[in-house]
Structure 1
Amino acid sequence: MYRFLLTPRWLGILALTLVAATVMVFLGNWQLDRYRGRTEINERIDAGERMTPAPLRDALTAPTGGAGSTGPAPAEEKVWTRVTVTGRYDPTNTVLVRGRTVDSRVGFEVVTPLVLADGSAVLVDRGWIPPAPGGATAQPEVPAAPTGDVTVVGRVHETESGAGAVDRRDGRLETRRISVPRLARELPYPVYGAYVLLDEQTPAADPLFTAVPVGHTNNWQNFGYIVQWWLFAAMTLFGYGWVARREARRAAGLDDTRPVDRAAEPEPSASA
């Protein structure tokens, strides 16, 4: 019954079916890798919230170059590590990061270099503040940074990609993305290769600041794609088998596919 499957036409259909199913399985495996990677990130974020802060140098390698240079990026497992570090803020090189949304409001994140005793610095995201009246890009009044020694507790955040230009407006640096290497070129000291997202500091931060929330990655979206692609692969193979079986039954005369002529059927007689 199934010898027709060896004909060139059906061998071609089988080849296309197998190729399509293989591609769908590959796409499902790719989404599985992304799901695992995002799940690991979420686990590190959760672990960072619970852990005791470690010294900054336990998570980041100190920069060794001159002014404007950047230290090595953190190892993947060190991103979102909770750290503590003591230094002095350099308010003359405060960075305003515009177009940042917190609680559905657009404003600025304020990044200030914290200069350490050895002369190097780490960028600290002190929090979010609303813009001045006049629009989302109106430069805000930034609360003064504490003077003297400041102890910061926060989480290691890797540098952001897709950075644009860094401008100096009204005495402050301004940008849209926190690209540590690009910002470091504007600073008079070597800078660590990641920035710290502030959780708390001593002396306490100004109450005008809103803490920048740490968003978890949407790993369940990837899980849905896994199910989708693997289901499509199974449906493709099932569809080939179903069509082949129907063709075999038709060739064997087991399925009557001829149309029924209803006009030729006798009408039932009327009852008395």
Structure 2
Amino acid sequence: MYRFLLTPRWLGCLALTLVAAALMVFLGNWQLDRYRGRTAINERIDAGATMSPAPLRDAMPAPTGGPGTAGPAPADRLTWTRATATGRYDPANVVLVRGRTVDSTVGFEVLTPLVLADGTAVLVDRGWIPPAPGGGATAQPQVPATPTGEVTVAGRVVASESGAGAVDRRDGKLETRRIGVSRLARELPYPIHGGYLLLDQQTPAADPAFQAVPIGHTNNWQNYGYVVQWWLFAGMSLVGYGWVARREARRAAGLDKPRPPVDRAAEPAPSASA
């Protein structure tokens, strides 16, 4: 009854079905890996809210190159954890990151290198400030004065952003669109760590003009939905092949006889209403 499945046509259909199902299972597994990775990020974000900060050297490897270079990126398992460092801010190399939105307002995040005792530095995201009034979203803001003397900071360990673009210097400040640590390192006179700190505590206290940059959770459930979607598609493709094969087998065995065509002309005309 099912010997037709061994014909080249049906063997080809089976091969295509199996390849398609395998591809869908692979895509589902890939989305499952992304779901697990994003879930781990969210767990580190939540845990970081209550954890004590670790020394910077335990969170990010120190740079070993010369001036203008960046150290290794922080390990994935350490991103969004908290770290602390002590040093002196370098007000001559403030970095303005434009196009950043907080509470539906576009402004700037302000990064300042914190120079450590060993001569290396770590970029510290001190917070968000709005653009200068009346000048549009790209108007350079009035940045609060940088604290002098020794400063101790604590914040989240954040990896460098991808897609780093050009870095310009305008009115004595560096400007960029993305926080690309390696790209920013080329503009600085000392080696810097391969990630940066998103400030949440500072001694002496941070200027109240800065607004804390919110930390958003990743949308891991979207990836989980894609897992279910791809695996369902894989199952449906196999079930669909089996359904078509069974229908063909029943037709060949004469179990599913085609219905005769209906002759509409032979049907009696409806009676006219009174």
Class of the TM-score when normalised by the shorter of the 2 chains: over 0.9
1:264 deviation in Å? 8.5
Q: Which residue of 1 aligns with 2:24?
A: 24
- In 2, Cα distance between equivalents of 1:263 and 1:189: 90
- Listed as ranges, the gaps of 5+ residues in structure 1 are none
Q: Which residue of 2 aligns with 1:92?
A: 92
1:143 deviation in Å? 0.7
Cα gap change, 1:117/1:262 in structure 2, threshold over 3 Å: closer, same or farther? same
- In 2, Cα distance between equivalents of 1:206 and 1:175: 23
Cα gap change, 1:255/1:265 in structure 2, threshold over 3 Å: closer, same or farther? farther
The total of aligned residue pairs comes to 269
- In 1, Cα distance between equivalents of 2:42 and 2:175: 30
- In 2, Cα distance between equivalents of 1:193 and 1:266: 84
1:223 deviation in Å? 0.8
Normalising by the residue count of structure 2, what TM-score does the alignment of the two structures yield? Answer: 0.93
State the one-letter code of the partner of 1:194. G
1:114 deviation in Å? 0.8
Is residue 57 from structure 1 mapped to residue 25 from structure 2 by the alignment? no
Q: Which residue of 2 aligns with 1:124?
A: 124
Q: Which residue of 2 aligns with 1:200?
A: 201
- In 2, Cα distance between equivalents of 1:263 and 1:57: 87
Normalising by the residue count of structure 1, what TM-score does the alignment of the two structures yield? Answer: 0.93
1:265 deviation in Å? 7.4
Q: Which residue of 2 aligns with 1:114?
A: 114
Q: Which residue of 2 aligns with 1:104?
A: 104
- Within a 5 Å distance, the mapping from 1:1-272 to structure 2 comes to 1-132=1-132, 133-263=134-264
Deviations 1:118-146 (A, max 9, x none): 22211100001111121110000011111
- In 1, Cα distance between equivalents of 2:260 and 2:229: 37
- Kindly, what percent of the aligned residue pairs are identical? 79
- Listed as ranges, the gaps of 5+ residues in structure 2 are none
1:258 deviation in Å? 2.6
1:67 deviation in Å? 2.0
1:266 deviation in Å? 7.9
State the one-letter code of the partner of 1:243. V
